[in-house]
C-alpha cells in the first residue's frame, strides 16, 4: 500500500505543478487524439502493476493531450476554472471513497450536500422550499427537472407516470424556445416526450422567446403543458423575458422549466440580475456548478419548486437501503443515480471559497471582460460584433465571410495565446467566446485582443 500512497502524493504534486503552469500560461497546443491513443495503446495487461509506475506513465503520456481549459484565456464552450479549492475537496471525496447515495452510507457527504444546497438556493435567489439534486451537469439537471415536470403535469391530469409510464397517458404539449440548447432535447428524448414532438416558440435576434408567440402557443394547447425557457443562450448569453412569460405559463397551468446552465448565475450578481428578472417565478431550474461556480467537473444542480414531484420522479427504495430519518436528506432522492460521487463537498468548498461577494464579483468581471474584448475587436476594420453583449458570451465575424472567420479561428488556436471556437448563428459562421473563469482578468482580455488582432491581420494579409 505504501507504494500506492506515494503514487497519490506524486499525482497531487503533478496536478499542482500543472495548475501553477496554466495559471497564467498560454493555452498550450495539444497533441492529437491519435498521438495520445498511440501513446496508450497496448495489449490488455495480464498482471497488475506498480502504482508509482502507473501514475508516472499516466502523467507522462496524457499531459501532452491535456487542453488548458483552466487557463484564464480559455474562452471555448462554457468552461469554468475547476478552482484548486474545489479540486482539493474533490480529491477528498475520491479518497474518502464515499458512496453519497444516502445518509446511512455517507452521513458527512449527505449533510454537507444539504447545507450546500440551501446555500445555493439563497445565492441564486430561488425559493427556499425548492429541492436540489446534485447531478453531473446541466444535461442531467434538465433531464431531472423535466422528469419532475412530466410527473406533476400528468398527476394533475390524473395520471401516475411513475407507475404506468406513458402508455395511454394524456398527451403532453411541450413548448420550447427555438434557440434552446441541444441538451434539453436530449432530456426530452430520454423521457419519452420526443425531441421532435415539441412546439418551438419563435425567438428574437438574441434568441429570446417572443412572449406573444408563447402566449399564442399556450392558447392553442390543450391538456398538460411543459414550457421550457432558458437563461443564458449559448451564443448570445440572453435570457428569456421571464416577467412576461412566467405569468402566462402560470395562467395556462403549464409547468415552466428554465435551462440556466450558466445564465442563472446572473442572479447572484446584483449588477446583472436584471437579465434574469422573474426567473424565480418558474417551477424548475437546471444549472451547472462546473461553469460559473468553478467546481471541478462533474457538478450540476436540478432545482425543483415542488419537492414532492422531484422525489416522486427520482427516489429509489429497497429493503437494504435504510431510509433517512425525519429531517435528514438522502442525496439519491433527487438524482437518477444511486451510487454517486460526493459532489456536495466541492460545491460546499466553492461556495465557501468565493462567498456571495466573490461570485458576484467574478460574474460581473467576466461580463466586463467579454464586453471589453468584443467592443475593442469591433473597432478594427473588417471585424464585426455579431450581437450586442448582454452577459459573458460574445460573437465576432472576420471579413464578413465564413471561410475567413474559420481561417482566423484556426490561426488563433495555432498561436495558442487564447482559445476560442466557432459556432453558427443565424446561418453565419462566427467566432464565439465565453468568459466563465474566476481566473480571467482585464489584462487577459487585452492580451487576447492583441492576439486576435494579430491573427486577423496575418490572415487578411
Ligand atoms: C444553456 C446550456 N444548457 C445546457 C448545457 C449542458 O451542460 P453540461 O455540459 O454541463 O451538461 C450547456 C453547456 O454549455 C448550456 O450552455
pLDDT in tens, 282-326: 999 999 999 999 999 999 999 999 999 999 999 998 888 888 999
Q: Are residues 428 and 453 in the same domain?
A: yes
Q: What is the pLDDT of residues 106-141, one digit of tens each?
A: 999 999 999 999 999 999 999 999 999 999 999 999
CB 211 within 8 A of CB 241: yes
Any idea which residue has 409547468 for its cell? 255
Stretch 257-281: mean pLDDT, rounded?
Answer: 97
pLDDT band with cut points at 50, 70 and 90 for residue 29: low
- In terms of Cβ atoms closer than 10 Å to its own Cβ (0-12, 13-18, 19+), residue 347 is buried
In a domain, 337, yes or no: yes
> Would you give the DSSP letter of residue 84?
H
In angstroms, what is the span from residue 57 Cα to ligand 1's centroid?
33
At residue 319, the pLDDT reads 87
C-alpha dihedral (42, 48, 51, 55), degrees to nearest 10: 20
| DSSP H or E run through 284 | strand 284-288
Any idea which residue has 431550474 for its cell? 285
Closest by CA to 383, choosing from 371, 397, 393, 373, is 397
CA atoms of 334 and 140, how far apart (whole Å): 11
Closest by CA to 404, choosing from 458, 450, 460, is 460
Q: Are residues 268 and 346 in the same domain?
A: yes
What grid cell was written down for 347?
460545491
The mean of the pLDDT values for the chain is 97
At residue 162, the pLDDT reads 97
CA atoms of 312 and 329, how far apart (whole Å): 14
In angstroms, what is the span from residue 450 Cα to ligand 1's centroid?
29
At residue 72, the pLDDT reads 96
CB 36 within 8 A of CB 65: yes
Q: What is the pLDDT of residues 157-185, one digit of tens each?
A: 999 999 999 999 999 999 999 999 999 99
Out of 76, 207, 234, mutate this one to test ligand 1's pocket (max ligand atoms within 8 Å of CB): namely 234
In a domain, 71, yes or no: no
**Residues across the chain:** 461
In angstroms, what is the span from residue 38 Cα to ligand 1's centroid?
31
Which of 177-209 are b and which e, b meaning 16 or more Cβ less than 10 Å from the residue's Cβ? bebbbebbbebbebbebebeebbebebeeebbb
> Which atom of ligand 1 lies nearest, measured to the CA of 78?
14
Q: Are residues 28 and 173 in the same domain?
A: no
Q: Are residues 182 and 330 in the same domain?
A: yes
CB 137 within 8 A of CB 298: yes
- In terms of Cβ atoms closer than 10 Å to its own Cβ (0-12, 13-18, 19+), residue 297 is middle
In a domain, 82, yes or no: no
CA atoms of 308 and 151, how far apart (whole Å): 10
Nearest CA to ligand 1 atom 15: 261
In angstroms, what is the span from residue 457 Cα to ligand 1's centroid?
33
CB 187 within 8 A of CB 139: yes
At residue 230, the pLDDT reads 98
Q: Are residues 276 and 378 in the same domain?
A: no
Total domain count, the chain: 3
Checking DSSP bridges between strand 428-434 and strand 225-230, what pairing results, if any?
Answer: unpaired
In a domain, 419, yes or no: yes
Instruction: Please provide the DSSP assignment of 17-68 as one string.
Output: HHHHHHSS--------HHHHHHHH--PPPSS---HHHHHHHHHHHHGGG---
In a domain, 79, yes or no: no
In angstroms, what is the span from residue 139 Cα to ligand 1's centroid?
6
CA atoms of 148 and 55, how far apart (whole Å): 42
Out of 82, 137, 144, 266, mutate this one to test ligand 1's pocket (max ligand atoms within 8 Å of CB): namely 137
At residue 196, the pLDDT reads 84
Q: Are residues 280 and 187 in the same domain?
A: yes
In angstroms, what is the span from residue 330 Cα to ligand 1's centroid?
26
Tell me the residue range of the domain where 15 lies: 2-66
Instruction: Please provide the DSSP assignment of 300-363 as one string.
Output: EEEEES-HHHHHHHH----TTSPPPPTT---GGGGSS-SS---HHHHHHHHHHHHHHHHHHHHH
In angstroms, what is the span from residue 136 Cα to ligand 1's centroid?
11
Q: What is the pLDDT of residues 314-364, one digit of tens each?
A: 999 888 888 899 999 999 999 999 999 999 999 999 999 999 999 999 999
CB atoms within 10 A of CB 43: 5
In angstroms, what is the span from residue 238 Cα to ligand 1's centroid?
14
In a domain, 77, yes or no: no
- Give residues (CB < 6 A) around ligand 1: 77-78, 137-139, 181, 183, 230, 232, 234, 259, 261-262, 288, 300
Nearest CA to ligand 1 atom 12: 261
CB 305 within 8 A of CB 127: yes
Q: What CATH number is attached to the domain comprising 415?
A: 3.90.1150.10
Q: What is the pLDDT of residues 144-159, one digit of tens each?
A: 999 999 999 999 999 9
Q: Are residues 452 and 311 in the same domain?
A: no
> Which atom of ligand 1 lies nearest, measured to the CA of 260?
1
Closest by CA to 78, choosing from 287, 364, 242, 373, is 287
In angstroms, what is the span from residue 138 Cα to ligand 1's centroid?
5
Could you say which of 15, 32, 66 is where a domain stops?
66
User: Residues 6 or more apart from 216 whose CB is under 8 A from it?
Assistant: none
Out of 136, 182, 183, 433, mutate this one to test ligand 1's pocket (max ligand atoms within 8 Å of CB): namely 183
Stretch 257-282: mean pLDDT, rounded?
Answer: 97
Out of 78, 285, 289, 393, mutate this one to test ligand 1's pocket (max ligand atoms within 8 Å of CB): namely 78
In a domain, 377, yes or no: yes
Q: Are residues 164 and 286 in the same domain?
A: yes
Amino acid at each position: 500500500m505504501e507504494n500506492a500512497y506515494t503514487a497519490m502524493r506524486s499525482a497531487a504534486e503533478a496536478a499542482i505543478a500543472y495548475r501553477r503552469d496554466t495559471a497564467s500560461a498560454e493555452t498550450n497546443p495539444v497533441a492529437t487524439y491519435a498521438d495520445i491513443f498511440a501513446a496508450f495503446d497496448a495489449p490488455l495487461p495480464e498482471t497488475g502493476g506498480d502504482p508509482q509506475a502507473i501514475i508516472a506513465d499516466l502523467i507522462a503520456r496524457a499531459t501532452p493531450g491535456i487542453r488548458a481549459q483552466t487557463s484564464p484565456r480559455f474562452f471555448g464552450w462554457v468552461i469554468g476554472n475547476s478552482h484548486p479549492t474545489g479540486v482539493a475537496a474533490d480529491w477528498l471525496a475520491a479518497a474518502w471513497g464515499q458512496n453519497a447515495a444516502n445518509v446511512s452510507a455517507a452521513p458527512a457527504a449527505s449533510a454537507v450536500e444539504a447545507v450546500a444546497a440551501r446555500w445555493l438556493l439563497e445565492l441564486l435567489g430561488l425559493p427556499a422550499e425548492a429541492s436540489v439534486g446534485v447531478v453531473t451537469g446541466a444535461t442531467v439537471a434538465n433531464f431531472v427537472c423535466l422528469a419532475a415536470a412530466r410527473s406533476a403535469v400528468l398527476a394533475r391530469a390524473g395520471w401516475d407516470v411513475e407507475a404506468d409510464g406513458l402508455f395511454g397517458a394524456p398527451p403532453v404539449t411541450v413548448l420550447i424556445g427555438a434557440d434552446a440548447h441541444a441538451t434539453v432535447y436530449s432530456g426530452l428524448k430520454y423521457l419519452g416526450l420526443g425531441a421532435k414532438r415539441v412546439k418551438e416558440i419563435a425567438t428574437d435576434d438574441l434568441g429570446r422567446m417572443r412572449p406573444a408567440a408563447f402566449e399564442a402557443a399556450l392558447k392553442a394547447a390543450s391538456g398538460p403543458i411543459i414550457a421550457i425557457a432558458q437563461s443564458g443562450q449559448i451564443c448570445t448569453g440572453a435570457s428569456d423575458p421571464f416577467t412576461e412569460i412566467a405569468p402566462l405559463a402560470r395562467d395556462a397551468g403549464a409547468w415552466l422549466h428554465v435551462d440556466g446552465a450558466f445564465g442563472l448565475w446572473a442572479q447572484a450578481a446584483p449588477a446583472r440580475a436584471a437579465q434574469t428578472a422573474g426567473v424565480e417565478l418558474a417551477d424548475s431550474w437546471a444549472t451547472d456548478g462546473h461553469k460559473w461556480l468553478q467546481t471541478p467537473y462533474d457538478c450540476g444542480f436540478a432545482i425543483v419548486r415542488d419537492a414532492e414531484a422531484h422525489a416522486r420522479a427520482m427516489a429509489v427504495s429497497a429493503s437494504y437501503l435504510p431510509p433517512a430519518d425525519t429531517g435528514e436528506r438522502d442525496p439519491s432522492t433527487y438524482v437518477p443515480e444511486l451510487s454517486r460521487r460526493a459532489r456536495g463537498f466541492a460545491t460546499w468548498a466553492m461556495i465557501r471559497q468565493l462567498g456571495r461577494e466573490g461570485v458576484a464579483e467574478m460574474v460581473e468581471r467576466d461580463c466586463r471582460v467579454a464586453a471589453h474584448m468584443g467592443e475593442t475587436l469591433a473597432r478594427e476594420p473588417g471585424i464585426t460584433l455579431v450581437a450586442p453583449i448582454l452577459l459573458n458570451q460574445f460573437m465576432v465575424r472576420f471579413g464578413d465571410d465564413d471561410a475567413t472567420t474559420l481561417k482566423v479561428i484556426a490561426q488563433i488556436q495555432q498561436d495558442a495565446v487564447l482559445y476560442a471556437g466557432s459556432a453558427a448563428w443565424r446561418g453565419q459562421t462566427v467566432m464565439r467566446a465565453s468568459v466563465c473563469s474566476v481566473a480571467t482578468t482585464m489584462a487577459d482580455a487585452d492580451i487576447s485582443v492583441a492576439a486576435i488582432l494579430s491573427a486577423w491581420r496575418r490572415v487578411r494579409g
